[in-house]
Amino acid sequence: MAAICLCLAIHEPYYLRRYTIFDIAENSLYEDDDRSCNMAMHNAQTCYLPTNEILYHLIQRYKGNFRLALSISDSALDLFEQYTPEVIDSVRALAETGCVEFISESGPHSLACLYSREEFIHQVQEHNRRIRRTFGRVPSTFRNSELLYGNDLAQTIAQLGFSTVLTEGSPQLLGWRSANFVYAASVAPQLHLLLRNADLSTDISQRFSQKSWDRWPLTADTFASWCENIGEQADTINLFLDFHVFGLRNTADSGIFSFLEALPEQILQKKHLDFLTPKQVVKKFPVRDSLAVAEYQSWNDEGCDLKGWLGNEMQKDAIKELYRLALRARSLGDEDILRDFERLQTSDYFHYMSTRWFSESQPDRPNPYASPYDAYISYMNIVADLGERLTKCEETKKQKTRASRSRNASPAQSNMQERTTQTGKTADPIAPKTTKKTARTRAASKVHASKRTVKKASS
């Protein structure tokens, strides 16, 4: 008996404006709202809404026998909430069937794990909270942006309370082994590893629409029989797909929707095949071996490495420049700055700077810039502006504390002083639970303080 473990990743980036050096300190509008809106609407219409409808009906039809797992990035959630809330509703409908497992990820679809562990932990915890708030589910499985994973990360993920992590079944990792079993992380034995079946996943994600492929056109029947063959010597067949596969990378006229509709029936017809979510897979099948992932790997098509995001000097320079601001942004705790800081971590922005990628961009995830150099220039200007804003905010904050300190002489202010010290304490990046509250407290104290100054001025 083998499981088909279908995991779909939903991610949409905000599109950034062409932000020039002349915009710095003049305006801090980084996002191209029109473009982001258009893409969100377009993708909702051609991909998310029709696919979710099909998935919903499949779940209804097979009464618990068809299951899948979903992950949604924060930027995608933001975009949908802002422009097409019906997508959120459709995902919520899926959640209510009880046949969908929600997988956690680093909120803004970031590469934070490589540059700031505190930032990473914070993002994952925040994202978990958001998933619970929005869909009422607590994730126990984790997938990093771009399926990024390495030994280095195993302990952290385990400590965050996850029992399973998804990553790529890359050839250099597997060697003679098969991706179709449950593995454990060598450095954190309690953490299960599920590896993507690269062949079968790419059959759907890349080759499905390729007319030059010798197996084209792929039918659900054929695909199920391949799964059956593999299933004889496998515990789980992990199909990890970008959600764009349905309707965007493979357009509607490629027949992808009828493929999806027919797949469960064909799979369930086979005696030894079943749909399970990651949580069920690790519960059902034993750990066969432990795996050490010495170097970080991703689901990049070429080489499964990080070169697509951090392959050249521009990419490294840009990401270092951004994370240099991490501590300051977190300790300042200004909500606007934090939101921009988080959004700027989206891995897509670094992908746009890849000189390797340049000639072959995925049409469903277009590079909005004419060249990787333009992407870098724009991004660096934005980060420079963010830095300027931070400095300015820090200065005003300093002035305020100085002002409150000088007022400290009068006993009436003691209450207020207490509040500020509290704020200072809770602005620790590893204690995110209180950030929201502190922000509110600070807002209140701000109002308080401004009233005071007005009073003082008038007196």
- Does position 354 interact with another protein (CB under 8 A)? The reply is no
Dump the DSSP string for 189-236. TTSEEEEE-HHHHHHHHTGGG-TTSTTPSP-HHHHHHHHHHHHTT-SE
Residue that is written with structure tokens 């795996």 in the block: 291
Rounded to a whole number of angstroms, the minimum distance from the CB of residue 294 to another protein is 27
Rounded to a whole number of angstroms, the minimum distance from the CB of residue 377 to another protein is 4
**Tokens encoding 349:** 């922005």
206 versus 355: smaller Cβ distance to another protein: 355
371 versus 408: smaller Cβ distance to another protein: 371
- Does position 360 interact with another protein (CB under 8 A)? The reply is no
Strands in 269-351 per DSSP E:
273-275, 287-291
* Contact window for another protein (CB under 8 A) among 71-79, 372-380, 390-398, 403-411: 372-380
Q: What share of the chain is helix, strand, coil (3-state, %, to 5)?
A: 55, 15, 30
Angle at 126 between CA 279 and CA 328, to 5 degrees: 140
Pairing relationship of beta strands 2-10 and 68-72 according to DSSP bridges = parallel
26 versus 214: smaller Cβ distance to another protein: 26
Rounded to a whole number of angstroms, the minimum distance from the CB of residue 312 to another protein is 5
- Does position 355 interact with another protein (CB under 8 A)? The reply is yes
* Contact window for another protein (CB under 8 A) among 78-86, 199-207, 239-247, 368-376: 368-376
Spatial distance between the Cα atoms of 68 and 279, rounded to a whole number of angstroms: 10
Q: What are phi and psi of 432, to 5 degrees?
A: -75, -20
Count of residues binding another protein (CB under 8 A)? Answer: 20
- How many residues would you count in the chain? 459
Residue that is written with structure tokens 């897979």 in the block: 281
- Does position 388 interact with another protein (CB under 8 A)? The reply is no
Specify the DSSP element, H or E, that contains 380.
helix 372-407
Residues 6+ apart with CB under 8 A from 362: 244, 249
Provide the 8-state DSSP code for 15. P
Spatial distance between the Cα atoms of 127 and 122, rounded to a whole number of angstroms: 9
- Does position 361 interact with another protein (CB under 8 A)? The reply is no
Nearest-10 Cα torsion for 331, 334, 340, 346: 40
Rounded to a whole number of angstroms, the minimum distance from the CB of residue 370 to another protein is 7
- Does position 316 interact with another protein (CB under 8 A)? The reply is yes
Q: Which one of residues 123, 381, 435, 438 is an interface residue with another protein (CB under 8 A)?
A: 381
Q: Which one of residues 258, 371, 396, 453 is an interface residue with another protein (CB under 8 A)?
A: 371
Rounded to a whole number of angstroms, the minimum distance from the CB of residue 314 to another protein is 5
Rounded to a whole number of angstroms, the minimum distance from the CB of residue 357 to another protein is 12
Nearest to 97 by CA among 142, 133, 136, 47: 136
Rounded to a whole number of angstroms, the minimum distance from the CB of residue 113 to another protein is 22
Touching another protein, residues 286-315 (CB under 8 A): 312-314
Rounded to a whole number of angstroms, the minimum distance from the CB of residue 328 to another protein is 21
- Does position 380 interact with another protein (CB under 8 A)? The reply is yes
**One-letter amino acid identity for 254?**
S
- Does position 358 interact with another protein (CB under 8 A)? The reply is yes
370 versus 412: smaller Cβ distance to another protein: 370
- Does position 179 interact with another protein (CB under 8 A)? The reply is no
Sheet order of strands, 192-196 included:
141-143, 164-168, 192-196, 182-185, 287-291
265 versus 374: smaller Cβ distance to another protein: 374
Rounded to a whole number of angstroms, the minimum distance from the CB of residue 320 to another protein is 10
Q: Tell me which residues touch another protein (CB under 8 A).
A: 18, 20-22, 312-314, 316-317, 355, 358-359, 370-371, 373-374, 376-377, 380-381
